[in-house]
């Protein structure tokens, strides 16, 4: 499973970082950086939480 | 406590959806049923008064990823009563749903002004017909408003809170002559003087006319009200669960052992007593706690209010964390003018300034320099 970021949609709320700090973070410019794109089974729950919390649906799993 | 085998979630907004996701993430593999009064999947409500209203070409700004909780979704159906003794939810289609764990996430609806106050006086308002005033709560409301403002009517927005201001901003962007009536300065009660002044200045610069609530009503083709919300708890009226007319929960979202609540409908403990916090992130955080408490009782981590709020209006994007309204002038931590990061004791805000929420929250907890 992978995380996919729709960058133009991202507004930099960073709620995803809070939900899955091991998988993503906002850099110093407030741009979202995916630290891990390919996910192991143990990371799916955190990734789902990050996807769900985004109010502009900029993240999805594929 | 014994773990439930059959959970019903009443409400299909972000609180209900998050509760369902959390139940599964916490290992609940029993029967899960979600009841939603709208005939559609859950969506992002904050987008309705922001991107959906503003970006006329984008009809997808409110969509959320598809769910994978495997619940039975009963959509377009409303809960009408709850029998806590027999553990049954009664639906408006005549069905009853048995449960051994219940999540109440039925949200809220717009407060409506009385018939007299909502009487339109201008052309096109069909004087006296109360239903002429639109309100914005769900997707249908937002689509109706989008459609109405596309023909550039003159608009009167009643209510100077964040929702009213976002609606006014969207109407101005659509090219509508727009007036807003507000009880006191817009946003003052919610955000404090500094942010209120900033946003009101930006609104006026874009052409928003602001009138006090007791001024004579100007004529307008379209009236939109945004005067607060009322929790959807009438269906709980005969259940005995409402305390003082409210659905009061404990710090883990519990009304009783087998009933939890989250989101706009639920009054959680706060330093000011039980309080509803009708915000997106609060609904999510409360739903996580409540779902965990339904499965694990006292072992669930209690809810800790960490309000995060954002608004987009009149060309400004404001993100705020901590205790609002913020009193007095803030210290500017970074940036200047219309793009800055500011801090008050116990609160912080970013104006047209991208910052991770964890950093914004940390700033709330740091002493002001």
Q: Which domains does chain A have, with CATH numbers?
A: 3-61 (3.30.70.20)
Facing residue for B357 by CB, picked from A9, A15, A52: A15
A25 touching B (Cβ < 8 Å): yes
Residue A4 contacts residue A59 (beta carbons within 8 Å):
yes
Inform me whether the pLDDT recorded for B81 exceeds 90.
Answer: yes
Lowest mean pLDDT among B124-133, B234-243, B285-294, B308-317: B124-133
- Please name which of B96, B108, B173, B103 lies closest in space to residue B137, comparing C-alpha atoms: B108
Total residue length of chain B: 369
**Which residues from A are below 8 Å from B15, CB to CB?**
none
Place of tokens 């509760």: B19
Which of A36-40, A42-46, B262-266, B271-275 has the highest mean predicted lDDT (pLDDT)?
A: B262-266
Q: Which tens digit of pLDDT belongs to each residue from B230-243? A: 999 999 999 999 98
The rounded distance, in Å, linking the Cα atoms of B347 and B340 is 14
Inform me whether the pLDDT recorded for B146 exceeds 50.
Answer: yes
Q: Per the structure block, which two tokens stand in for B183? A: 């009880």
Which of A57-61, B38-42, B78-82 has the highest mean predicted lDDT (pLDDT)?
A: B78-82
Q: Helices marked H in B127-279 — which ranges?
A: 139-149, 162-173, 188-191, 193-205
Reported pTM: 0.90
What pLDDT, on the 0 to 100 scale, is given for residue B124?
Answer: 37
Inform me whether the pLDDT recorded for B340 exceeds 90.
Answer: yes
What pLDDT, on the 0 to 100 scale, is given for residue B240?
Answer: 95
Interface mutation target, options B47, B279, B354, B363, chain A, most CBs of A under 10 Å: B354
Average pLDDT score over residue span B296-312: 93
Query: Mean pLDDT for chain B?
Result: 91
> How many Å lie between the alpha carbon of A26 and the closest alpha carbon of chain B?
6
Inform me whether the pLDDT recorded for B128 exceeds 60.
Answer: no
The rounded distance, in Å, linking the Cα atoms of A55 and B7 is 26
Inform me whether the pLDDT recorded for B210 exceeds 70.
Answer: yes
What pLDDT, on the 0 to 100 scale, is given for residue B237?
Answer: 95
The rounded distance, in Å, linking the Cα atoms of A58 and B227 is 30
Inform me whether the pLDDT recorded for B245 exceeds 70.
Answer: yes
Instruction: Indicate the pairing of strand B79-83 with strand B96-98.
Output: unpaired
Lowest mean pLDDT among B45-49, B164-168, B229-233, B357-361: B357-361
Inform me whether the pLDDT recorded for B151 exceeds 90.
Answer: yes
Of residues B114 and A16, more confidently modeled? A16
A17 touching B (Cβ < 8 Å): yes
Lowest mean pLDDT among A2-16, B74-88, B337-351: A2-16
Facing residue for A45 by CB, picked from B25, B284, B357: B25
Q: Which residue from A minimizes the CA distance to B317?
A: A11
Facing residue for A18 by CB, picked from B17, B44, B358: B358
Would you place residue B56 in the very low, low, confident or very high pLDDT band (cuts 50, 70, 90)? low
Record: contact B358-A61, CB cut-off 8 A? no
Record: contact B280-A48, CB cut-off 8 A? no
Q: Which tens digit of pLDDT belongs to each residue from B130-145? A: 447 999 999 999 999 9
User: Which H, E and C letters describe B285-352, residue by residue?
Assistant: HHHHHHHHHHHHHHHCCCCCCCCEEEEEECCEEEEEEECCCCCCCCEEEEEECCEEEEEECCEEEEEC
What pLDDT, on the 0 to 100 scale, is given for residue A52?
Answer: 82
Record: contact B25-A12, CB cut-off 8 A? no
With a CB cutoff of 8 Å and minimum separation 6, the contacts of B178 are B154, B155, B156, B157, B168, B171, B172, B207, B208, B209
Q: Which residue from B minimizes the CA distance to A8?
A: B61
Q: Which tens digit of pLDDT belongs to each residue from B9-24? A: 999 999 999 999 999 9
Q: Phi/psi of residue A38, each to 5°?
A: -85, 130
Q: Which tens digit of pLDDT belongs to each residue from A10-61? A: 888 888 888 899 999 988 877 899 998 899 888 887 888 888 888 778 898 8
Question: Residue B13: left if φ>0, alpha if ψ -120 to 50, beta else—which one?
Answer: beta
């Amino acid at each position: 499973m992978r995380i996919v970021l729709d960058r133009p949609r991202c507004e930099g709320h960073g709620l995803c970082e809070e939900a899955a700090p091991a998988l993503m973070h906002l850099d110093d410019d407030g741009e979202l950086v995916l630290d891990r794109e390919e996910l192991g089974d143990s990371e799916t729950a955190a990734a789902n939480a990050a996807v769900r919390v985004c109010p502009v649906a900029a993240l999805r799993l594929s | 406590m014994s773990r439930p085998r059959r959970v019903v979630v009443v409400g299909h907004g972000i609180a209900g959806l998050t509760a369902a996701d959390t139940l599964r993430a916490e290992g609940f593999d029993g029967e899960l049923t979600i009841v939603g009064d709208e005939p559609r999947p859950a969506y992002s409500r904050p987008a309705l008064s922001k991107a959906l209203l503003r970006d006329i070409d984008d009809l997808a700004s409110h969509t959320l990823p598809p769910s994978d909780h495997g619940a039975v979704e009963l959509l377009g159906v409303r809960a009408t009563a709850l029998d806590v003794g027999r553990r049954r939810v009664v639906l408006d289609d005549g069905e009853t749903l048995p449960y051994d764990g219940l999540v109440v996430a039925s949200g809220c609806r717009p407060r409506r002004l009385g018939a007299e106050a909502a009487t339109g006086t201008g052309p096109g308002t069909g004087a006296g017909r109360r239903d002429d005033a639109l309100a914005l709560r769900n997707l249908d409301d937002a689509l109706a408003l989008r459609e109405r403002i596309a023909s550039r009517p003159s608009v009167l927005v009643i209510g100077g809170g964040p929702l009213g201001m976002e609606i006014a901003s969207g109407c101005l962007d659509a090219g509508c002559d727009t007036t807003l009536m507000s009880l006191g300065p817009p946003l003052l009660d919610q955000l404090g003087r500094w942010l209120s002044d900033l946003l009101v200045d930006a609104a006026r610069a874009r052409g928003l006319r602001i009138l006090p609530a007791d001024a004579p009503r100007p004529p307008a083709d379209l009236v939109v009200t945004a005067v607060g919300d009322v929790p959807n708890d009438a269906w709980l009226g005969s259940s005995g669960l409402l305390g003082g007319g409210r659905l009061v929960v404990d710090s883990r979202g519990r009304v009783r052992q087998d009933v939890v609540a989250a989101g706009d409908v639920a009054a959680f403990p706060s330093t000011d007593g039980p309080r509803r916090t009708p915000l997106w992130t609060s609904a999510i955080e409360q739903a996580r706690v409540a779902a965990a408490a339904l499965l694990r009782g006292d072992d669930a981590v209690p809810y800790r209010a960490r309000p995060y709020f954002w608004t987009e209006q009149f060309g400004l994007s404001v993100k705020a964390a901590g205790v609002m309204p913020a009193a007095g002038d803030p210290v500017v931590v970074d940036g200047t003018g219309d793009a800055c990061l500011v801090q008050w004791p116990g609160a912080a805000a970013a104006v047209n300034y991208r910052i991770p929420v964890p950093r914004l929250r940390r700033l709330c907890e740091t002493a002001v320099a």
